[in-house]
Every structure is written in C-alpha cells, then in structure tokens.
Amino acid sequence: MPAKVILNPYSNRWNAKKRWPEAEAALHEAGVEFSLAVSEHPRQPVDLAEKAVREGFSPIIVAGGDGTIGDTLNGIGRVKKGEHFGLLGIMPLGTANDFVHNLKMPLGLAEAAAIIAAGKTRPIDVCTAGDRYFINNAALGLEPYITVLQQEMTFLKGIPRYLAAAVKGIIRNPKWHGKVEWDDDSYEGPITLLSVGNAPLTGGLFYMAPHADPADGKLTAVLVNKDSSLSLLALLPKAMKPEGLFVNSPGVREIHTTRIRVELKSSSPAHSDGELFLIPQDKIEYGIMPGMIDVIVP
C-alpha cells in the first residue's frame, strides 16, 4: 500500500499550503507513491492519522511542522495503544522544524523526499504527557506561557516571534509552586518552568534539554526556579547554545529519568510538541516508551 501524506496547510502561517506543490513534486520525483489527506481545521491531523493507520497505510508522512508531527503521533497512538507505532516520514513545512533539526535531517524538500524514498529508519522513543503523546518536547510553566504569548503576536512571524515572546515572558517571570517527583529524587517549592525533552532543541532557538537523546529510553528534563527576571534573562543566551552550559547555573537542575510526576498548587499552561493543552494543568505525569516508532532518517 502507498504512503499516506498528512498535510497541514496552516503550518508556518499558511506557508505550508504555498509550498505543497514543491513538496508534492519532490515526492513524485523521488518515486514515493502516496495518497494525500489535507487538514481543514486545528488538530484534524489527529483524526487523519488515526484513519490512515486503520486503513493500513505505511509510512505516514507528515507535511507540516512540529505540532503536526505531534498531532499525527497522537492519531497513531489512538490505534496502537502500547503497540509499535510503525513508520514515520517527514516533509518539513513548519516554522521551527525542531524535530527535523534534532535528527540532523535536511530542510530541503527534494532532499527530504529522497530520504523517504531511501527508507532508512531509526527507532525513536515516544513520550507521554498525561494522555498525550509527544516526540520532541513538552513543558509546564514559563515555556508554554511563552507559547501563549507568541500566538498573540500577530505582528511578527517565524523565529523572531518566538524570541520576542520569550523576552516578554521572562520579564514578567510568572511563578508556580508545587512538587515534582522522578525516578530517584523529588523537589518541592517555587517553579519557573519544567521542560521535558526527548530531544535538545525547541522553539527554533532554545536547547532546553541540551543533553537529551531521542533514542536513549530516558526523559531529560530541566527544572528551573529563578527569583528575578534579570537572573532569568541572563539564562536566555546560554539556553540558545547547544553546549547546554545553562543547566549548571544556580536554580537550574537537569534530570534524566523514565517518569516525572507533577502536582502544582495553581494550574499552569502546558504544551506537548508546541501544541497547547486546552485546559491548564495542575497535575500531570510524563513517561517514555523506548523505541516505539521508526522514523525515516538520512
């Protein structure tokens, strides 16, 4: 059976729709046989992926960004429920394309199509945030708070929007209080953010889980508590460097674990793979399923 391509035309502020003819031509040129499903409203890739899996399509090819990858993963998960998630290909049409960068895959559509045609795969861990699946990153606190801010910034596009929202959020420096438990330790007190990574890069600029490995069977989380906006702002340029030295800063703790349980005294925005939860969370558990999906890679 041919592949199923799930196109999210809204990715990168409708730029994915404009670039689809180029992506389609690249797939045909590479000899990839596929049928197309186009999302017509937010979160519809979840339903489209579920339908494609039930109909036996393989691989599922995401034509979109990190949020579309996450939605597709959740659609697959509706069917698989603990079984191997199958085969995933990516045509990068998003804004940041974090997961593609993390796997050192090209952004060029001709190159991406050639990789899909070659069919080389790598087993990648699938993570859980409550009842959601994610493959790149999830978070509570300041990080999804910044996501809320950047969605409100219609006057900027692309990476500059992420950066402007980050600075605005850091200046406001919102706080939460609660308890975080993981495999061999716990923390209770004020929380600026908890970023849970399956891979290092998120938001196009920030290495929030700089030592994460998407195939090591572990979550890599960064727990941050900073009293002042100034001290938090000082972390920003450090978090933009892949070396990840910011995790050694005071008030920052890096965690490698297989599970995380969080209870907050007041609810926080939350996201997984850049997609905000509809309802803020005051309790959530994160977990990992090692090697649960095969991703087509160079």
Higher pLDDT, 150 or 52: 52
Q: Which fold has domain 3-119?
A: Rossmann fold (3.40.50)
* Token reading at 183: 């495999």
Q: What is the pTM of this model?
A: 0.93
- Environment class of residue 110 by beta-carbon count within 10 Å: exposed (0-12), middle (13-18) or buried (19+)? middle
User: What is the rounded distance in angstroms from the CA atom of residue 272 to the CA atom of residue 202?
Assistant: 11
Distances (CA, A) of 64 to 67, 171, 181: 8, 32, 34
Which numeric CATH code is attached to 137-290?
A: 2.60.200.40
> What does the buried/exposed string (b/e) look like for 235-253 if buried means 16 or more CB atoms within 10 Å of the residue's CB?
beebbbeeebebbeeeebe
The string of pLDDT tens digits covering residues 24-70 is: 999 999 999 999 999 999 899 999 999 999 999 999 999 999 999 99
Higher pLDDT, 122 or 1: 122
Percent of the chain with pLDDT over 70: 100
Distances (CA, A) of 130 to 47, 187, 189, 246, 284: 19, 20, 22, 28, 5
Indicate the pLDDT class of residue 147, thresholds 50, 70 and 90: confident
Rounded to the nearest integer, the mean pLDDT of the chain is 95
Structural domain spans, the chain: 3-119, 137-290
Indicate the pLDDT class of residue 159, thresholds 50, 70 and 90: confident
Specify whether the CB–CB gap between 11 and 68 falls below 8 A.
Answer: yes
Q: How far is CA 17 from the centre of its chain?
A: 21
